Amino acid sequence: MFLSSVGVAAFSDGRMMEGQELQSVSKLEEQLQQARQRSKELRQQLRLELEAASELEKRLEKVRADKAVTRQLIAQELQEVKVAHAKLQEVKGRDGTPTERARQALSSSVLASDTGALTVQRCDVLQQRARALLHGGADLEAAGGNSCLSEAREAAEIVEQLEDLGHGDDALYRALLQFSLRGLERHLEPDDPEVLARVHSLGVSLENLGEKTLALQFYQRAYESRSQRLGSEHRDTLDSGYNLATCYRNVGKLSEAEVLFENVLTCSQRVLGSQCPLTIDTAEQLADLLERKDGWKDLVAAWKLRRSLLEWSRSAYGEDDPAALLAMAKLAGVLKRAADAGVASRLAAAEALKASVARHQKVLGAESPEAIQAAAELAEFMASSGAKAPPRLKWFQANSDL
């Protein structure tokens, strides 16, 4: 069967139109896909903007709350000023001018009252905010959500502010720090310094609550991670090492505690100096640990450390400071123990105890509890029977001066 020229042309036109329609459909499908992708991007952008708006709203609420608290504090301060003015009018002299003594008494009274009232009020405000954070965080986590980074940081800031105000509530601190740590770990790396700072603080709170075994785990994580991230001689690493060593001692792991105390002392003395409180405190803890042991070599090591401690304390605080007096008394005490054990000269121990008594009486007075205690230890030692030092420790006798 043959087609006419008209039929062929019509058939060709039909095929062409069909091809054009297919191309049109293909373009429409491509445009639809692009529209879907754009819609997805817009939804993602909208979600992020809503989250940012929510974050801004929370910050605004916090600013409003702080503004209200500030107004309350200002109102209270104005009231205190009015009360102070009224008292001032009551104590004026005959010529209408307040006496200097009245001024001083009034100033001290108002300052103490004002400071105490403001502290209590500020603590109440912070505790209310803490409860709101914890309650809101619990609801959010129950719904499958996560707390924002700013709230995690705010929880830690509340703990610091309460501590600065002298408010001791370790149960509240633990809850806030746990909340803060969970939030930080969702947004930051596990070894981020801010995360590790919270781990360390949580260990302190747990130890204060008596949960020493759990506190030990947090101290270990803080110390090991800080050592790797910050270095073994960084101040934060040394702080965690000191707390970990102390916790080791408190749970009975004395060998681990001794090794770590020695390491922290070496690093702290090299980096921070012998007059740094961390160096002195670490040396004190190590000396106390050595004195608990039975070996005569441990007593010798403790004696050497006590001599250094006396020198460092005098340099850091002054010869008449209570810390220096305590270091002197403890040096005399370790000599007394060594003499009682038969590894040190009793004459050297007696001279050290006498020097400690004389120093305490000169600085604090003969009737002070410290001077009386030092005198009692000297009397007890002098009344006891002595033993000669063995030849191996003759140097102990010759180098035991204070």
pLDDT in tens, 363-382: 999 999 999 999 998 898 88
Q: What is the pLDDT of residues 214-239, one digit of tens each?
A: 999 999 999 999 999 999 999 999 99
- What is the pLDDT, as a whole number, of residue 192? 95
Q: How many other CB atoms are there within 10 angstroms of residue 310's CB atom?
A: 22
- What is the pLDDT, as a whole number, of residue 22? 77
- What is the pLDDT, as a whole number, of residue 399? 45
User: Which tops the pLDDT comparison, 82 or 300?
Assistant: 300
pLDDT at 210 over 70: yes
pLDDT at 164 over 70: yes
- What is the pLDDT, as a whole number, of residue 288? 94
pLDDT at 189 over 90: yes
User: Which tops the pLDDT comparison, 369 or 3?
Assistant: 369
Instruction: Tell me the H-state helices in 2-148.
Output: 5-90, 100-142
Residues 6+ apart with CB under 8 A from 347: 397
**For the chain, percent of residues with pLDDT exceeding 90:** 44
- What is the pLDDT, as a whole number, of residue 54? 67
Average pLDDT of the segment spanning 276-303: 92
- What is the pLDDT, as a whole number, of residue 401? 45
Look at the block and give the residue holding tokens 């060709």.
12
User: Which tops the pLDDT comparison, 313 or 63?
Assistant: 313
For 151, 232, 241, the CA distances from 268, given in Å and listed in that order, are: 35, 10, 11
pTM of the predicted structure, to 2 decimals: 0.67
Residues 6+ apart with CB under 8 A from 198: 156, 177, 180, 181, 184
- What is the pLDDT, as a whole number, of residue 144? 63
Q: What angle do CA 51, 55, 56 make, to 5 degrees?
A: 115
Average pLDDT of the segment spanning 149-168: 87
- What is the pLDDT, as a whole number, of residue 142? 62
- What is the pLDDT, as a whole number, of residue 89? 53
DSSP H/E element including 316: helix 296-317
Residues 6+ apart with CB under 8 A from 118: 73, 76, 77
Instruction: Tell me the H-state helices in 188-234.
Output: 193-208, 212-230
Tell me how far apart the alpha carbons of residues 31 and 203 are, in angstroms, rounded to a whole number: 58
Mean pLDDT of the residues in the chain:
80
Residues 6+ apart with CB under 8 A from 180: 152, 153, 155, 156, 159, 198
User: Which tops the pLDDT comparison, 67 or 238?
Assistant: 238
Average pLDDT of the segment spanning 300-317: 94
- For the ranges 263-272, 306-315, 379-388, the lowest mean pLDDT is seen at 379-388
Residue type at 238? L
- For the ranges 23-32, 54-63, 102-111, the lowest mean pLDDT is seen at 102-111
pLDDT at 97 over 50: no
- CB crowding 139-172: b at 16 or more within 10 Å, else e: eeeeeeeebbeebbbbbbebbebbeeeebebbeb
- CB crowding 65-83: b at 16 or more within 10 Å, else e: eeeebeeeeeeeeeebeee
Average pLDDT of the segment spanning 101-113: 46
